[in-house]
Structure 1
Amino acid sequence: MNRFFAFVKKEFYHILRDRRTLLILFGLPFVQVLLFGFALTNEIKNARIAILDLDHSQHSRQIISRLLSSGYFRLEQQLDSYKAIEPAFRKGKVKMVVVFPARFTAAVAHDQRAQIQLLADASEQNTAISLTNYATNIIQSYSAELNPAGMNPPMQLDVQSRMVFNPELKGAFVFVPGVMAMVLLLVSALMTSVTIAREKETGTMEVLMVSPLTQIQILFGKVLPYLLLSFLNGCMIIVLGIHLLGIPLNGSLALLLAETLLFIFLALSIGILISTIADTQLVAMFASLLIMLMPTIFLSGFIFPVESMPKPLQIISNIIPAKYFIAIVKGIMIKGVGLQYLWKETLVLAGMSTLINAVSLRNLKTRLG
């Protein structure tokens, strides 16, 4: 029995000396609790909205004040005409537009009935439904307070909701761009990191490094097949989304394919970076899944709105590549916008690719030097 306890004690020492094992045992649950506790919520907070107030009355100002003080909304833009609504949506920042028509107050005073229009960006289906419900409840609550007891007929504020870009509220409009980003990122990064880690684990990477090929040629020679195969994978997802799930392609197909190729190149670059750090295929696999899977699901806006997360998680979400690619896919396919609206997201993806490749080459030279 003493031998058994000595063996168990030895195993404890072995685990405590292995930092990677400790990271998986304690770091992974810690990260999951934080993400599930703060990011896993369907409650919408601080959603960016625009206001088109053509009445500029006391009633419209009070309703706007109640909307903005509720905690659900924050004012992103004041519009001056109906023509400004569509460009506001296409920029991708505004989730909902509240429209107060001209003579809104006059209709309340003379007809005891007035209309308020809510236009929501339904490319994010659940968010659009929640925002219109929140706004409708706030407006109806204000309407009820204006009705004194026994008032006949009672004053009514009718709320008309319209879903922009996705009037039928199809769930595929939300999930296909997110699944496309997650699949391409996971497959590309995972396969690349494991492949190069296998070369290092078997010792053949050092043999390749002394060949006439340069380091850049070796690395890109290893990832080029995965670049082409992942691109075919992305094309397949696009075709299935359009012809099977009924997602429109309102923008340029050439731009969509170019952006997909850029995102795949970034994912492969992340795989190269992981492979320069990981010594074995197992470590590379765990690192790829840990770094790619949970942040892509929770912090990219794929399922849960980024605006509702705590500020630290919102800051971290800015380094999640899938966040920008999902915005690009939705912008091209659903909103029909071009590079003039998506240049910032494109520039971020290109900058990430350049930086990660530079760090990867430096790490590789250091480890083999």
Structure 2
Amino acid sequence: MLFGLPIIQIILFGFAMNNEIKNAKLLVCDYAQDEASIAITRKFEANNNFKLSKSILDYKQIEENFKQENLKLAIIFPVNFQNDLLHKNQAAIQIIADGSDPNTASTLQNYAASIIRDYQMSLTVGQTVPYSINTQVRMLYNPELKSAPTFVPGIMALVLMLICVLMTAVSIVREKEMGTMEILLVSPINPFLVIVAKAMPYFFNLAVILILSVTLLGMPIHGSLILLVLESALLIICSLSVGLLISNITNSQQAAMLIAMMGMMLPILLFTGFMFPLENMPIPLQMISNLVPSKWYFIIIKSIMLKGLGFAAVWKESLILLAMTVFLLLLSLKKFKTRLE
């Protein structure tokens, strides 16, 4: 812990703490299909901050693509874009961003405005009359760019997972220290029921978190509350399984607390995605982030609470979280029985 932890922290924070955004998925809706719109689109493609996901010709499909494709930004060129620019000396471009993450949305908006400004400057070289391209910005899901829609889902993932892992590990080790675990062994209680009993208080915590988020922070819940609770139950059981595994390898409350805090706090903060963009991290760290349950829970909760999506939109993330939960639960129960025997 003394020598290894600082090395791990330096490496992780050095590569993970990067607020620069790269390869953000971009959608282009080009009604103009002229030289000017194509030239600007190519500038976006050449910029490493953006990655062109697709091009469409129907404005009505934009929001649906934001929900399904995890898009970050959309650029809309109106009809007669080049004609307005050359003959009226001014034209407009609409920028639509995913406002569920205000910091990312504002940064990408500035990136896009800079690219458009660069093209505008290239037109004014040697011209007596300046050209003007006005950008109209629209923020989806969070028009006022409030911070709560970004941090509340992340804090939910952090609090639920960290508290569940920590308290489960410490409480089970405490029962072993006090000798009450032997009483559970000789009683006709299934180990799974022990986990269910441990999970019940955390559902009360979930209720408190949701009530405070809605009433005090103004966090909306546009999707199904039942689906949200079920997804949260998956994370709670998954976290309890991790806490049970930690209790199997420790014999004191101090050791269990240290491993739970240091072993879970750092991955949750770095690899959930609500503090630092995962797309900016090196490929090995992105692969590691896939092993952190809170990452998938964070994606699910944002989709339900902010975008109002149903199970059809988050079934892949739900399936991954369910697989993690089943694997960790079976492993923890097996180790639990072996340890107690």
In structure 1, what residue type is equivalent to 2:314?
L
Shift in Å, 1:219: 4.6
Q: Deviations over 1:119-170 (max 9, x none)?
A: 0001011000000001101110111011123x23211211111111111110
Contact kept, 8 Å, 2:244 with 2:336, in 1: the verdict is no
Please identify runs of 4+ aligned residues in structure 1 that moved more than 4 A.
none
In structure 1, what residue type is equivalent to 2:191?
I
Partner of 1:321: 293
TM-score, normalised to structure 1, is 0.88
**2-structure distance, mates of 1:82, 1:218:** 55
Contact kept, 8 Å, 2:100 with 2:306, in 1: the verdict is yes
Partner of 2:22: 45
Q: 2:327 aligns with which of 355, 360, 364?
A: 355
Q: Deviations over 1:79-134 (max 9, x none)?
A: 23111111111126101111122221222222121111110001011000000001
SS at match of 1:25: coil
**Structure 2 unaligned regions, length at least 5:** none
In structure 2, what residue type is equivalent to 1:43?
E
**2-structure distance, mates of 1:229, 1:211:** 23
| CA-atom RMSD in angstroms | 1.7
Segment of structure 1 superposing worse, 317-326 or 133-142? 317-326
**1-structure distance, mates of 2:53, 2:157:** 27
Partner of 2:157: 181
Q: 1:155 aligns with which of 117, 125, 131?
A: 131
Partner of 2:49: 72
Q: 2:249 aligns with which of 262, 274, 277?
A: 277
Partner of 2:232: 260
1:82 maps onto 2:59 in alignment: yes
1:123 maps onto 2:100 in alignment: yes
Shift in Å, 1:204: 4.1
**2-structure distance, mates of 1:248, 1:211:** 46
In structure 1, what residue type is equivalent to 2:268?
T
Q: 1:59 aligns with which of 22, 27, 36?
A: 36
Shift in Å, 1:178: 0.8
Shift in Å, 1:342: 1.0
Partner of 2:72: 95
Contact kept, 8 Å, 1:95 with 1:128, in 2: the verdict is yes
Q: 2:88 aligns with which of 108, 111, 120?
A: 111
TM-score, normalised to structure 2, is 0.95
Q: 1:236 aligns with which of 195, 208, 219?
A: 208
Shift in Å, 1:207: 4.6
In structure 1, what residue type is equivalent to 2:310?
G
**2-structure distance, mates of 1:309, 1:202:** 45
In structure 2, what residue type is equivalent to 1:237?
I
**1-structure distance, mates of 2:209, 2:316:** 24
**Structure 1 unaligned regions, length at least 5:** 1-23
Partner of 1:205: 181
SS at match of 2:156: helix
Within 5 Å, give how 1:329-340 maps onto structure 2: 329-340=301-312
**1-structure distance, mates of 2:239, 2:128:** 64
In structure 2, what residue type is equivalent to 1:126?
N
Contact kept, 8 Å, 1:118 with 1:159, in 2: the verdict is yes
**2-structure distance, mates of 1:241, 1:367:** 40
Q: Name the larger-Rg structure.
A: 1
SS at match of 1:335: coil
Contact kept, 8 Å, 1:270 with 1:356, in 2: the verdict is yes
Shift in Å, 1:202: 4.2
**2-structure distance, mates of 1:162, 1:82:** 13
Q: 2:121 aligns with which of 144, 148, 152?
A: 144
In structure 1, what residue type is equivalent to 2:293?
P
In structure 2, what residue type is equivalent to 1:174?
T
Give aligned-pair identity as a percent.
Answer: 43
Shift in Å, 1:293: 0.9
Shift in Å, 1:62: 2.1
In structure 2, what residue type is equivalent to 1:278?
T
**2-structure distance, mates of 1:78, 1:319:** 33
**2-structure distance, mates of 1:45, 1:26:** 33
SS at match of 1:114: strand
Q: Deviations over 1:11-60 (max 9, x none)?
A: xxxxxxxxxxxxx1122111211222111121111111212122222222
**1-structure distance, mates of 2:54, 2:256:** 45
**2-structure distance, mates of 1:57, 1:262:** 50
In structure 2, what residue type is equivalent to 1:55?
A
SS at match of 2:93: strand
**1-structure distance, mates of 2:69, 2:277:** 13
**2-structure distance, mates of 1:278, 1:76:** 48
Shift in Å, 1:69: 2.0
1:172 maps onto 2:144 in alignment: no
In structure 1, what residue type is equivalent to 2:236?
I
**2-structure distance, mates of 1:156, 1:166:** 28
In structure 1, what residue type is equivalent to 2:97?
A
Shift in Å, 1:364: 2.8
Contact kept, 8 Å, 2:94 with 2:135, in 1: the verdict is yes
Segment of structure 1 superposing worse, 183-192 or 50-59? 50-59
Contact kept, 8 Å, 1:186 with 1:289, in 2: the verdict is yes
Within 5 Å, give how 1:273-312 maps onto structure 2: 273-312=245-284
